[in-house]
Chains A and B, each alone.
Chain A
Amino acid sequence: KAGVTQTPRYLIKTRGQQVTLSCSPISGHRSVSWYQQTPGQGLQFLFEYFSETQRNKGNFPGRFSGRQFSNSRSEMNVSTLELGDSALYLCASSLGAPSSETQYFGPGTRLLVL
């Protein structure tokens, strides 16, 4: 079974631009979560989607948004990019129920904001 895939793998943007990242979960998984990884802040939870609905949200500004499609694929969007948004953005999928399930991570999208 294929793992979590994320596209693109690398992105370079300039301040003020917007960016859209994509995540395809493992087949059959209905929950997709997004995390931001930076050297200073570590791994921080952005949001989680389940059945096209945002189920949980971390402490990030409204410039960060996401959505999930009927096939469980998810996108996250960052508008008005800032230098501090440079990070590795990780997507994780799981079957769905918030419990003991394991989240499986994709390889990430590395975003550099200049």
Chain B
Amino acid sequence: AQSVAQPEDQVNVAEGNPLTVKCTYSVSGNPYLFWYVQYPNRGLQFLLKYITGDNLVKGSYGFEAEFNKSQTSFHLKKPSALVSDSALYFCAVRVVLTGANNLFFGTGTRLTVIP
């Protein structure tokens, strides 16, 4: 069975400081990993994905994520947080070779950037 864990419901960080939003996964095959962001009353916006290759993935709005196979983690990072980064962040996984296109989502982490 596939699952994604986001261990922190809430992350607070001061503007200008680096931020990390944690994600770990459990799958029975090779994963494709995604990060999405959701602003109030909006759908999900794609940030970045890991498919294969370089473990450090760069995405939209200055975000990046590092795939760590041994720790089954895919933490989202940004060197310098902006107040406008405050939102709900979701990690998601899709398993390769299952023939299924659907994503399994974590429970989300609410990021608050404090001015």
Measured CB to CB, the residues of A under 8 A from B are 4, 6, 31, 33, 35, 42-45, 48, 50, 55-56, 58, 90, 92, 94, 98-108, 110
List the 9 closest pairs (A to B, CB-CB), nearest first.
A98-B101, A43-B105, A105-B43, A105-B44, A45-B102, A100-B51, A107-B43, A56-B100, A42-B107
- Does A102 contact B34, Cβ atoms closer than 8 Å? yes
CA–CA, A50 and B44, complex, Å: 21
Q: Which residues of B contact A35 (CB under 8 A)?
A: 103, 105
* Nearest chain A CB to B66 CB, angstrom units: 18
B48 nearest CB across to chain A (Å): 9
Grouping DSSP codes into helix (H, G, I), strand (E, B) and loop, the B interface class, with mixed when no group exceeds half, is: loop
Binding site for A on B (CB under 8 A): 32, 34, 36, 41-46, 49, 51-52, 90, 92, 94, 96, 98-108
Give chain A nearest CB distance to B110 CB in angstroms.
12
> In the complex, how many angstroms separate the beta carbon of B8 from the nearest chain A beta carbon?
15
Q: A43-B90, A100-B51 are in contact. Are A105 and B45 (CB under 8 A)?
A: yes
**CA of A94 to CA of B44, assembled, Å:** 14
Partner of A56, one of B34, B42, B101, B105: B101
- Residue in chain B with minimal CB distance to A102: B46
- B105: chain A residues at CB < 8 Å are 35, 42-44
| Closest chain B residue to A34, Cβ basis | B102
